[in-house]
């Protein structure tokens, strides 16, 4: 998925869950509950709060995500920065994760968008940014044509 006018990519995951928004909100914003499904953390539902998500290090990833709370609208919307950390901060990803909860017939539509992926963040590419959006659109077609 590509954002119009910029060379960034987003991931969107949507799922209707048979639970009220209030319960899902707790799972998204209470530290021990976040740890149960995402990662160890020192999250606080306060705009401007900086926190880390910590996972097991693996090759090419130190296991730490640098985060900052951007939006807290109880039971409706939560947004935080999701950036590479430590030595990987300079060249790694700088993205924003936004959760949106919308009441649905049988529960709640949970929408997660992680936006701001730039291909150059994965390497040490510092050059011209032009062409990436168009290029990526073409890449998937090229790859799809692989016998």
Partner 1 sequence: MPIASTELFSALADPTRRAIFERLARDGEQTVGVLTGQAGVSQPAVSKHLAVLKLAGLVLDRRDGRQTHYSAQPQGLTPLLDWISLYGAFWRDRFDRLETLLNRMDQ
Q: Burial of 2 by CB count in 10 Å (0-12 exposed, 13-18 middle, 19+ buried)? A: middle
Half-sphere exposure (CA, 13 Å, Cβ side) for 70? 12
Question: For the chain, how are helix, strand and coil distributed in percent, rounded to 5?
Answer: 25, 40, 35
Q: How far is the CB of 34 from partner 1 (least distance, A)?
A: 9
Q: How far is the CB of 86 from partner 1 (least distance, A)?
A: 14
Nearer to partner 1, 70 or 93 (CB): 93
Contact set with partner 1 (CB under 8 A): 9, 11, 13, 15, 17, 19, 23-24, 26-27, 33, 36-38, 58-61, 92, 110, 112, 114, 117, 119-120, 122-125, 127-128, 130-131, 135, 138-140, 142-143, 145-146
Q: How far is the CB of 117 from partner 1 (least distance, A)?
A: 6
Neighbouring CB atoms inside 10 A of 50's CB total 12
């Amino acid at each position: 998925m590509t954002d119009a006018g910029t060379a960034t990519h987003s991931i969107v995951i949507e799922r209707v869950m048979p639970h009220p928004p209030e319960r899902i909100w707790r799972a998204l914003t209470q530290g021990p509950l976040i740890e149960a499904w995402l990662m160890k953390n020192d999250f606080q539902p306060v705009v401007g709060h900086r926190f880390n998500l910590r996972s097991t290090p693996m090759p090419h990833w130190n296991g730490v995500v640098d985060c900052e709370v951007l939006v807290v609208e109880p039971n409706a919307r939560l947004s935080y920065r999701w950036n590479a950390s430590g030595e990987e901060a300079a060249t790694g990803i700088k993205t924003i994760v936004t959760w949106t909860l919308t009441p649905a017939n049988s529960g709640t539509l949970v929408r997660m968008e992680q936006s701001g992926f730039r291909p150059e963040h994965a390497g040490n590419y510092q050059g011209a940014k032009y062409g990436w959006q168009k290029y990526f659109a073409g890449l998937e077609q090229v790859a799809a044509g692989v016998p």
